[in-house]
Amino acid sequence: MPFSSYIGNTRRGPAAAAAGGGTGWGQSLLPTALSKSKLAINRKSRKRTLLVNFLFANFFVIALSVSLLFLLLTLFHFGVPGPMISSRFLASRSSRIAKPRKSFNRRHVNGSIAGAAAVVDITTKDLYDRIEFLDVDGGPWKQGWPVTYKGDEWEREKLKIFVVPHSHNDPGWKLTVEEYYQRQSRHILDTIVETLSKDSRRKFIWEEMSYLERWWRDASPNKQEALSNLIKNGQLEIVGGGWVMNDEANSHYFAIIEQIAEGNMWLNDTIGVIPKNSWAIDPFGYSSTMAYLLRRMGFENMLIQRTHYELKKELAMHKNLEYIWRQSWDAMETTDIFVHMMPFYSYDIPHTCGPEPAVCCQFDFARMRGFKYELCPWGKHPVETTQENVQERASKLLDQYRKKSTLYRTNTLLIPLGDDFRFISIDEAEAQFRNYQVLFDHINSNPSLNAEAKFGTLEDYFTTLREEADRVNYSLPGEVGSGQVVGFPSLSGDFFTYADRQQDYWSGYYVSRPFFKAVDRVLEHTLRGAEIMMSFLLGYCHRIQCEKFPTSFAYKLTAARRNLALFQHHDGVTGTAKDHVVQDYGIRMHTSLQDLQIFMSKAIEVLLGTRHEKEKSDQSPSFFEAEQVRSKYDARPVHKPIAAREGNSHTVILFNPSEQTREEVVTVVVNRAEISVLDSNWTCVPSQISPEVQHDKTKLFTGRHRLHWKASIPALGLRTYYIVNGNVECEKATQSKLKYASEFDPFPCPSPYSCSKLDSDVTEIQNEHQTFVFDVKNGLLQKIVNKDGSETVVREEIGMYTSPDSGAYLFKPKGEAQSIVKSGGHLLTSEGLLVQEVFSYPKTRWEKSPISHSTRVYTGGNTLQDLVVEMEYHVELVDENFDDQELIVRYKTDIDNKKVFYSDLNGFQMSRRETYDKIPLQGNYYPMPSLAFIQGSEGKRFSVHSRQSLGVASLKNGWLEIMLDRRLVRDDGRGLGQGVMDNRAMTVVFHLIAESNISQADAVSNANPKNPSLLSHLVGAHLNYPINTFIAKKPQDISVRVPQYGSFAPLAKPLPCDLHIVNFKVPRPSKYSQQVEVDKPRFALILNRRGWDSAYCHKGRRANCTSVADEPVNFSDMFKDLGATKVKPTSLNLLQEDMEILGYDDQAVTPQQEGRVSISPMEIRAYKLELRPHK
Q: Which residues does the annotation mark as catalytic?
A: 282
Let me know: does 632 contact 583? Beta carbons within 8 Å. no
Let me know: does 1014 contact 609? Beta carbons within 8 Å. no
Render the burial of 151-178: b for 16+ CB within 10 Å, e for the rest: eebbeebebbbbbbbbbbbbbbbbbbbe
- The Cα–Cα gap between 409 and 92 comes to 9
Rg, the chain, Cα only: 30
Let me know: does 318 contact 408? Beta carbons within 8 Å. no
Q: What is the DSSP pairing of strand 337-341 with strand 32-34?
A: unpaired
CA angle 101, 102, 103 (to 5 degrees): 110
Render the burial of 1062-1084: b for 16+ CB within 10 Å, e for the rest: bbbbbbbbeebeebeeeeebbbb
- The Cα–Cα gap between 1059 and 660 comes to 10
Neighbouring-strand partners of residue 1047: 719
- The Cα–Cα gap between 586 and 1011 comes to 34
Cα 325 from chain centre: 18
- The Cα–Cα gap between 175 and 1048 comes to 46
The DSSP code for 286 is B
- The Cα–Cα gap between 1139 and 452 comes to 37
Render the burial of 642-680: b for 16+ CB within 10 Å, e for the rest: bebeeebbbbbbbbbbbbbbbbbbbbbbbebbebbbbbb
Task: Report DSSP letters for 316-347, one per residue.
Answer: HHTT-SEEEE--TT-SS--S-EEEEE--SS-S
Whats the size of the chain, residue-wise? 1175
- The Cα–Cα gap between 791 and 429 comes to 68
Phi/psi for 82 (5° steps) reads: -90, -170
Task: Report DSSP letters for 130-145, one per residue.
Answer: H--------TTSTTS-
- The Cα–Cα gap between 653 and 630 comes to 19
Cα 331 from chain centre: 24
Contacts for 657 with CB less than 8 Å, ≥ 6 apart:
525, 528, 529, 532, 716, 1025, 1026, 1027, 1028
Cβ atoms within 10 A of the Cβ of 309, count? 23
Cβ atoms within 10 A of the Cβ of 244, count? 33
To which H or E segment does residue 236 belong? strand 236-238
Q: Is 1017 exposed, middle or buried (0-12, 13-18, 19+ CB in 10 A)?
A: buried
Q: What is the rounded end-to-end Cα distance, in angstroms, of the chain?
A: 56
- The Cα–Cα gap between 456 and 413 comes to 11
Contacts for 376 with CB less than 8 Å, ≥ 6 apart:
21, 350, 358, 361, 362, 364, 367, 382
Cβ atoms within 10 A of the Cβ of 805, count? 16
- For the chain, give percent helix, strand, coil, nearest 5: 25, 25, 45
Nearest by Cα to 288 from 1071, 1149, 1008: 1008
